[in-house]
């Protein structure tokens, strides 16, 4: 187990911490982008209310429910459909990065669940039609593009976005561990993403200058 990661049982012994559970839902697919670029896998994330990307889930209360029961309840609220999660889907637990001024530690429990593509489609439809959190805590579900185009579109651009907590690391680790993307492809995407961050910083400075320029 990687440094800083705990087993499920070890994490539950941290009784003075708050607990949150999140899950990566994914499936295989034979779909192709533009009829020629294999998509290979569907991986779901969501755009949160704060503008950050993350995985569906939320706070649970281990004294009143199991982690998996709490996560299933959160998924029903955010996705609009019941997606049962089991202990076998648990990957790792770890403390969330500390925030200035926070008086309590947050324990993050991460799960990965493979589904049939039909189940993924059902989740996507329910998330915009019946989920009570749609448009409130959750702005919408998004698919992670696992391909890289000739102009470095796709995964490199996606990884350059802002993620909540350690969600980006959870995504990268899962893509490698499940062999959804090769190490070579992922390294290229991450390096390209770093360059895009620099370009975005320049664009933001230019946009800021527009707001500071005198208006006639």
Cross-strand pairs, 19: 60, 107
Alpha carbon distance 143, 120 (integer Å): 10
Residue with tokens 């003075």: 16
**What are the domain boundaries of the chain?**
5-212
Entry field: residues in the chain? 216
Q: Answer for the pair 147, 37: CB distance below 8 angstroms, yes or no.
A: yes
Alpha carbon distance 79, 64 (integer Å): 22
The radius of gyration of the chain's CA atoms, rounded to the nearest angstrom, is 19
Mean pLDDT over each residue of the chain, to the nearest integer: 90
Q: Answer for the pair 110, 22: CB distance below 8 angstroms, yes or no.
A: yes
The pTM assigned to this predicted structure is 0.89
Q: Give me the CATH code for the 5-212 domain, please.
A: 3.90.79.10
Question: How confident is the model over 171-191, as pLDDT tens digits?
Answer: 999 999 999 999 999 999 999
pLDDT of residue 103: 59
Question: How confident is the model over 8-54, as pLDDT tens digits?
Answer: 888 888 877 889 999 999 999 999 999 999 999 999 999 999 999 99
């Amino acid at each position: 187990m990687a440094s800083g990661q705990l087993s499920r049982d070890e994490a539950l012994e941290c009784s003075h911490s708050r607990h949150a559970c999140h899950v990566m839902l994914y499936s295989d697919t034979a779909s192709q982008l533009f009829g020629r670029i294999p998509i290979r896998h569907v991986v779901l994330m969501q755009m949160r209310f704060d503008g950050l990307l993350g995985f569906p889930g939320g706070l649970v209360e281990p004294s009143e429910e199991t982690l998996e029961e709490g996560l299933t309840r959160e998924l029903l609220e955010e996705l609009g459909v019941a997606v049962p999660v089991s202990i076998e889907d648990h990957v790792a637990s770890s403390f969330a990065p500390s925030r200035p001024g926070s008086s309590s530690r947050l324990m993050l429990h991460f799960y990965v669940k493979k589904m049939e593509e039909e189940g993924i489609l059902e989740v996507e439809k329910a998330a915009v039609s019946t989920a009570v959190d749609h448009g409130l805590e959750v702005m919408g579900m998004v698919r992670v593009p696992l391909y890289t185009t000739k102009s470095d579109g796709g995964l490199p651009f996606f990884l350059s976005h802002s993620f909540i907590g350690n969600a980006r690391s959870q995504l990268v680790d899962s893509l490698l561990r499940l062999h959804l993307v090769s190490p070579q492809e992922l390294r290229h995407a991450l390096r390209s993403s770093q360059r895009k961050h620099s370009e975005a910083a320049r664009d933001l400075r230019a946009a800021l200058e527009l707001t500071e320029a005198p208006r006639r």
